[in-house]
Structure 1
Amino acid sequence: MKAVLFDLDGTLIDSAPQLVGALNQLRQQYNLPPIPFLVGRPFASHGAAGLLKAGFDMDKNDPAYDARVQEFLDIYKEVFNQNVQCMEGIEELINTLNLKGISWGIVTNKAKKFAQPLVSSHPLLSSTECLIAGDEVSVPKPSPEGLLKASQLLSIQPSDIIYLGDDRRDVMAANDAGMVSIVARYGYLEAGDDANNWNAQHIIDKPSDLLSYLSP
């Protein structure tokens, strides 16, 4: 394999503390008690939609949904880049990719206004060769559009690229793009969600496990 593409939240960075924290600040505004961190954590890969479902049992059919999303984002934008850490083992993996001369990039559904500062402010992640945000494509994951765009930017064929993510949508996008799909089971999987049912080519439990799939 000639390159690795990563999802961002729950795969490269542990953004759950900031996301769940913002959700609980919003719940406080509505006189609701905070939800336990471990209850909210699995929804961190689903963005505002997943978090509002977890925190308010609200979906896009609710008349107040759009306004509540904006309220959440207004809070999140104040905390999203505070003390964000990489997932355990990611720094060692990225350093190894760099040493081996293997290209790597990021394809996320996160909006660029959040993704770009998170990546550019991190000494390690700022060396990524490409960053494709969710609002830089016409259709975000599970569409393969972002992955194919990254493939073009890297000038590497999709069949020579691994895509690592912690959500079923990541697997769908990778498979449709013709890439090697690998699940980061260390990420934000929901309780009872079996990644074995996602039709991924491989599943790993820690970032270093990815290294065994880098050989052609």
Structure 2
Amino acid sequence: MAERAYGAIIFDFEGTLVDFQWRLEPAEVELRFAFAALGFGGDDFAQGNYATMWNAAADWFAPRGRMAELRQALAPIYDRWDLDALNRWAPRPGAAKLLRRFAAGGLAVAMVSNVGRSALAGALERFDFVECLLPVVSRDEVTYMKPRAEGIFRVLAQWQLAADEVLFVGDSRADVFAARAAGMPVAIIRGGECAESAFAEHPPDYMISQLSELVELLERGPGARAGWFPGDRVG
């Protein structure tokens, strides 16, 4: 096999290894009311999404050592919408087989997800992903969700790898922003949380349509990125 372009890979979960099933509109309406009840308003909350609203609130709670209060008030709402999505999640074609192939080939494989620990643990077990991913960082292990890079930095610290040695694979603008904040190349798979047009201003390094395309991408060698443009497809 050719020398790998990357020594490790970090996956997002929902929209990437499984389909996207979070019901964003009603969930974010409920979350805005909940954040307002805590005294939060303004553009960060009127225009923010489930992740950026949490991060904006955490910017106030975390420096004061009061994150437990934010989790107590808001985590049950996030968890409930996770569990709602859990009822409908289905794996992307070939996801478990791909993870096993990477793990068996000695590739370090991890996950950083904005989904909470409870729903994520059940889903990873159900879809036979759990033994292939180490570590798994859910939103419950971090102060800030993606698009912040905290979860990615936790994985890099555990692996003791440089960011440019690792590929992040996701489906959303938040994944692109988090990977960029960590200094990491990023591949986006179509058909997840964000439409392809959403990446026009902030394109990923790679745009793929099937998880299986990652095999050739990782095996192209250190020069793989040269001449590889977003929208190109392996094959």
Normalised to the residue count of structure 2, the TM-score between the two structures is 0.65
- 1:37 paired residue number: none
Partner SS for 1:207: coil
CA distance 1:196–1:61, change in 2 (3 Å): same
How many residue pairs get aligned? The number is 181
Aligned: 1:9 with 2:20: no
1:63 and 1:143 map into 2 onto residues whose CA distance is 19
CA distance 1:75–1:5, change in 2 (3 Å): closer
1:91 and 1:113 map into 2 onto residues whose CA distance is 20
| Residue 10 of structure 1, CA deviation | 0.6
Q: Give yes or no for contact 2:188–2:206 (8 Å, CA) kept in 1.
A: yes
Aligned: 1:52 with 2:27: yes
Q: Give yes or no for contact 1:185–1:195 (8 Å, CA) kept in 2.
A: no
After superposition, residues 125-204 of structure 1 pair within 5 angstroms as 125-190=130-195, 193-204=197-208
Structure 2 gaps of 5+ residues are 1-5, 39-72, 223-235
CA distance 1:119–1:65, change in 2 (3 Å): farther
Q: How far does the alpha carbon of each residue in 1:161-203 deviate from its partner, in whole angstroms, 9 at most, with x for none?
A: 000111101101101111111111132324x733233232111
2:170 and 2:137 map into 1 onto residues whose CA distance is 14
Structure 1 gaps of 5+ residues are 21-42, 44-49
- 2:122 paired residue number: 117
Identity of aligned residues (%): 21
- Let me know the Cα RMSD of the aligned residues: 3.0
- 1:205 paired residue number: 209
Q: Give yes or no for contact 1:141–1:169 (8 Å, CA) kept in 2.
A: yes
Greater Cα shift, 92-101 or 58-67: 58-67
| Residue 132 of structure 1, CA deviation | 0.5
1:139 and 1:63 map into 2 onto residues whose CA distance is 16
| Residue 5 of structure 1, CA deviation | 0.3
Paired AA for residue 32 in structure 2:
K
1:76 and 1:138 map into 2 onto residues whose CA distance is 18
1:72 and 1:163 map into 2 onto residues whose CA distance is 24
Paired AA for residue 2 in structure 1:
G
Paired AA for residue 112 in structure 2:
V
Paired AA for residue 107 in structure 1:
V
Paired AA for residue 178 in structure 1:
G
Q: How far does the alpha carbon of each residue in 1:138-173 deviate from its partner, in whole angstroms, 9 at most, with x for none?
A: 211111110010112223221110001111011011
Normalised to the residue count of structure 1, the TM-score between the two structures is 0.70
Greater Cα shift, 86-95 or 1-10: 86-95
CA distance 1:102–1:110, change in 2 (3 Å): same
Q: How far does the alpha carbon of each residue in 1:57-99 deviate from its partner, in whole angstroms, 9 at most, with x for none?
A: 566267888899956854753x554474311232332233123
